[in-house]
Amino acid sequence: MLSKDQEYQVFETDEPLMSVTSSLINTEDAITKTNLVDGKLAAPIKFYGHYCDRMDMYAPSQTVAEYLNTHHEWFVHCAKPMKVKPLGENGYALVIGKFGAFNYEVEPKIGLELLPPEAGIYRIQTIPVPDYTPCGYDVDYRARLHLVENPAEDFSTNSQQITGVEWELDLTVYVHFPKFIQRLPKSLIQNTGDKLLNQIVRQVSRRLTRQVQENFHQSIGVSFPIKR
């Protein structure tokens, strides 16, 4: 379980991105029909995680920076199996997949903007998705990336340099649970939600990291040592 302000290291895997549970209650019906207290929505429960990791690229930092700056050419493809739709010049609408617990599920859809670098720092933040209102949840996504170049020590590649894309993510999710879940102990809801949030981040980052690495090295003709 990941607690607040704890760092979580992400590793590659072949684990598929999938729902945690099945045959669950429809989110919209549950929120609109069973979560009202005196005619108002009950206060949401907050889940937060701080995550960090590194994505290695076998190329000079300038080459990696040029690749990151042309994300519109590869991001939609590399984000599969998530459903991704471009929003403007630097934004994307992403459907993450279905996740849930306690016979209740959500299918998160968020807008992200990949901002141009400032002083060598890349930032990603949430943006509204046009004509879409999240039902029962709200997401605040704030990520920071920077490049660290070092000599390559792995002689299985034909690159003399390795650039680490080091990133940090502060992710906050607010969920309006229906009343039948609010009857459960608050600690049980909090712990289960934290574990589920960590699982989503872990699965998405693993697959996205591997697919971006493979796409990048293929695009520059550099062999990439796959580590399991």
Query: Across the strands, what pairs with 138?
Result: 174
pLDDT for 27? 40
- Count CB atoms within 10 A of the CB of residue 218: 11
Q: Please, which pLDDT band fits residue 203 given cuts at 50, 70 and 90?
A: confident
| pLDDT one-digit tens code per residue, 96-134 | 877 666 666 777 889 999 999 999 999 999 999 999 888
Mean pLDDT for 8-17 is: 36
Q: What three-state secondary structure class fits 29?
A: helix
Strand positions, DSSP E, the chain: 36-37, 40-41, 45-57, 83-87, 91-95, 99-101, 104-106, 109-118, 121-127, 137-151, 161-175
Answer left, alpha or beta for residue 38, where phi above 0 means left and psi between -120 and 50 means alpha.
left
pLDDT for 68? 96
Phi/psi at 179 (5° precision)? -60, -30
Mean pLDDT for 5-30 is: 36
Residue 99 near residue 105, CB atoms below 8 Å: yes
Q: Cα separations (Å) of 104 from 75, 77, 108? A: 30, 30, 13
Closest listed residue to residue 124, CA positions, set 109, 137, 134, 111: 111
Whether residue 51 is predicted with pLDDT greater than 70 in this model: the reply is: yes
- Count CB atoms within 10 A of the CB of residue 57: 25
| pLDDT one-digit tens code per residue, 134-165 | 878 899 999 999 999 887 665 455 567 899 99
pTM of the predicted structure, to 2 decimals: 0.77
pLDDT for 110? 93
- Count CB atoms within 10 A of the CB of residue 72: 12
Mean pLDDT for 89-100 is: 86
pLDDT for 177? 82
Chain mean position to CA 60: 26
Q: Cα separations (Å) of 220 from 58, 81, 217? A: 10, 24, 5
Greater pLDDT, 17 or 81:
81
Q: Which two tokens stand for residue 3?
A: 């607690």
Whether residue 21 is predicted with pLDDT greater than 50 in this model: the reply is: no
Residue 136 near residue 143, CB atoms below 8 Å: no
Q: Cα separations (Å) of 50 from 3, 6, 47, 141? A: 9, 6, 11, 10
